Amino acid sequence: MPENDKANQTNTDISLPKEEWEKKLLENEKTALTEFPLPQEPNEKKPADKHAVHGIWAVLLLAVFAVSAVCGVYLTVKPVAKCTPAKAAEKEEGTSKLAAAFSRAKGEKGIAWIKVRGVIAQDNNSSAFSRPSGASSIAKKIREAGQDDNVQAIVLDINSPGGTVASVQNIYSEILKAKEKKKVVALFRDVAASGGFYIAMAADKIVAEPGTITGSVGVIMQTSNVEGLFDKIGVKVTPITSGKYKDMGSSFRPMSDAEKAILQDMVNDTYTQFFAAVKAGRPNVKPEDLAEYTDGRVFTGQRAYNLGFVDKLGGEEDARLLAGELAGIKDPKVITSRPDGLRELIFSFGSSMENQTLAKQLQTLATPSVSYLWVN
């Protein structure tokens, strides 16, 4: 028999005793594993420690609050800014000097510069994190400026399409009170329409850019009807009222002609108040122009100047110098409002979170409001 056949017979001999045969198989397996090792599975990554992750977020939040606190303290100590033609040029060139912006000595006199931005409305939040904002905040700044002996004049920097009737009239009333002691100049930016135009009627003088969108003297009231939507989802609202007009303007049913007439009368009443404010604040506008341009239309700052609704064409530097001229001072310094610190930051965060709730959005949708607002 050939040698190879003998070797094969030895390797495949199954006539060995069972114990020796199992021993031989084990030896062969060890040899195979040594020469041809099996691939190793990669080590599984351990899940991140939740406590460690929470700790990192806590450190980051503390860092943010610490920075806010430092900024708040710094700006409280130095709350005033000086605006000169030279600094205006630096701003145009992109030069920012925050430290120099808060450099007025305590007790130095100047002009209060109060900004009115966006839709004018009250803050209806009632949570522990809510804070006065919108019309309440602006009215408070005007009131404080009127009572401050270091304030020689006030500039209202307006970039607003208007807002709710009561909020606009709140600011308007505070300007009239402040004007008893201080000179007030209104500055129109991109948009000063409807309620933004209304509050300026209390000012002594108005400055606007030629391309400013202004006017929109009028009132708007909008109601929504979600009855069709509720029918689709199988919801029916059944009001129980003490009078037939108690749910007038409801979003859950059509409005009757009688209800429309009542609401129209209310809109007409608030328009009459708007018209009276324009007539009192702009006595030099011709009666025929006053009647024509108070029908809700918007027009440019240039047209407003030509008609007498605006006293001067220009920007913030022109408003600053005009306020100084009315107050009898040359090159007036500008007192700016202190930016929000840590407390206001936390309160505004809670307020914004509350405003984002679905319930609040639905409440806003379902509540009719009368507004001095330019809607485009």
Domains recognised in the chain with CATH numbers: 109-373 (3.90.226.10)
**Among candidates 317, 315, 316, 318, which has minimal Cα distance to 85?**
317
Residue the block writes with tokens 């600094």: 87
Catalytic residues: 194, 246
Residue 151, strand partner residues = 110
| Cα–Cα distance for residue pair 120/123, rounded to 1 Å | 10
Contact (CB, 8 A) for 204 and 326:
yes
pTM of the model: 0.67
CA distances from 179 to 138, 152, 162, 312 (A): 15, 11, 21, 19
Query: Token pair for residue 358?
Result: 């679905």
Local confidence pLDDT in tens for the 376 residues of the chain? 555 554 444 444 555 566 675 666 666 655 655 554 555 555 555 555 555 555 566 556 656 555 554 444 333 333 334 444 444 444 444 433 333 333 344 567 899 999 999 999 986 544 444 444 589 999 999 999 999 999 999 999 999 999 999 999 999 999 999 999 999 999 999 999 999 999 999 999 999 999 999 999 999 998 888 888 888 898 888 889 999 999 898 888 899 999 999 999 999 999 999 999 999 999 999 999 999 999 999 999 999 999 999 999 999 999 999 999 999 998 899 987 555 455 554 544 444 444 445 555 555 545 668 999 998 7
Contact (CB, 8 A) for 271 and 218:
yes
How many residues are recorded in the chain? 376
Q: Which alpha helices (DSSP H) does the chain contain, by range? A: 3-11, 18-35, 50-77, 85-92, 98-101, 135-147, 165-178, 195-200, 227-233, 257-281, 287-292, 301-307, 316-327, 342-355, 358-366
What residues have CB less than 8 Å from 257, skipping those under 6 apart?
none
